[in-house]
Structure 1
Amino acid sequence: MGLFDTLFGRTRMTPGKTDQLFALSTAQLDIEAKLDSPYGERAALVLRAVDNSSYDALQKEMNDLLSMNGRDFTAHVTAQTDNMGFHWLIFRGPNLEDAINGLHMAADLLKQAGYSDSLLAAMFRFGDWYLIYSYRRASFYPFMPTGSSRRNESREFRIRQTLDGALPIEKDPERWYPLWDPPI
């Protein structure tokens, strides 16, 4: 951050970090066995809203790239914008590994195009709860909504305790931001 940024109170967004996402592949067995939570066949990449034509072209390129993976890639990919203006790239399919690889490919493409500060989170459904990966913090945290703007915090802490060591878990619960009404 430069001198003028400091003087005028501007902050820079932390670029998204994608490498820790692959830790979920090895933690899947712990999630399914210890938490009795199978992968819910849905995952998503959550992006901050970007309004320009180069981003629209990039989104088409991402969809083309993901569809080119052919028979080996079993996830069906769709895009959606929520009522808050966030973009969701949604992966539906039975294979968690495909979702992780697809999310990683899409995130890398965004980073290469200069949109790494748009990467907010990756979200995975497991049974009745979600596992969220914060690209800015390079860590995971559980999210279990129980109704309209309510969550089961005690269960989230039990999930954290179970997954600590298997995944890089966000240590500060104040940073466990909820993603209400996810389209997954």
Structure 2
Amino acid sequence: MVFFKRFIDNIGDSRKLNSDSDAIFTLSSAYISLETRLNLISTGRCGICIKKADPDVNFNELKQSIENLLDASKKTDLKLSYGVNIDEYHGLLWLVIDVRTIEDSVACVTVIGEILEQKGSVIQLKYAVFEFGKKGSKHQPYYLTYDYELDKFYPFVPIIGRQKVRNSREEMNMMRAVSKDKLPFEEDASKWDPIWHLPF
């Protein structure tokens, strides 16, 4: 992906990708199994959840840093829109990105995660969430969540119209669809932490 290299070059970061990035990058090929087996396609929407590891962290300053970083994408072929949501009560910051393809989503999350990890001990990367939907339907979202602590993916399918109820059958279908791919998947369903009220 030429645009991916150009994105990295233009923001001045040429470091070797770490294990988190390697894991996330596998989604750029594994998603084909979701499309062929479950008729799921990427909506182009993804998000990164960041938690304060230091209570003195100023999220407004971090927000500005992220916006400056994403503005650098204008130097590439990458077309994106984004929003930054701050939840001071829970000490969380959500970066929500809209792009055209799953490859673009993976590139954005990979590069931004790498840059944010330079913040060291003051913040903690919690989740990267990728949104999918059934072809021809825009009502029911399907999510693949990457847990940075587990270094693995897991599915999340909330049932629309029912408060905090998830579709376990569809989640298992998602897991089985990619079980033979190289995507690192958390097989212990008790660790599939539901992220309710996603700011998507």
* Residue 51 of structure 1: how far off its partner (Å): 4.4
* Residue 84 of structure 1: how far off its partner (Å): 3.8
Q: Confirm whether residue 20 of structure 1 aligns to residue 26 of structure 2.
A: no
* Residue 18 of structure 1: how far off its partner (Å): 3.2
Give 1:42-57 correspondences, 5 Å limit: 42-49=45-52, 51-52=55-56, 56-57=60-61
Change (3 A) 1:73 1:52: farther
Unaligned runs of 5+ residues in structure 1 are 1-15
Structure 1 ranges of 4+ moved more than 4 A? none
Q: Contact 1:62/1:109 (CA < 8 Å) preserved in 2?
A: no
1:59 aligns with 63
Unaligned runs of 5+ residues in structure 2 are 1-18, 134-140
Change (3 A) 1:178 1:163: same
For normalisation by structure 1, the TM-score amounts to 0.83
1:145 aligns with 158
2:32 aligns with 29
Q: Contact 1:144/1:151 (CA < 8 Å) preserved in 2?
A: yes
Q: Which amino acid aligns with 2:188?
A: D
Q: Contact 1:81/1:87 (CA < 8 Å) preserved in 2?
A: yes
Give 1:63-142 correspondences, 5 Å limit: 63-70=67-74, 71-82=76-87, 84-115=90-121, 118-127=124-133, 128-142=141-155
Name the CA distance, whole Å, in 2 between partners of 1:63 and 1:173: 35
Alpha-carbon RMSD across the aligned residues, in angstroms, is 2.1
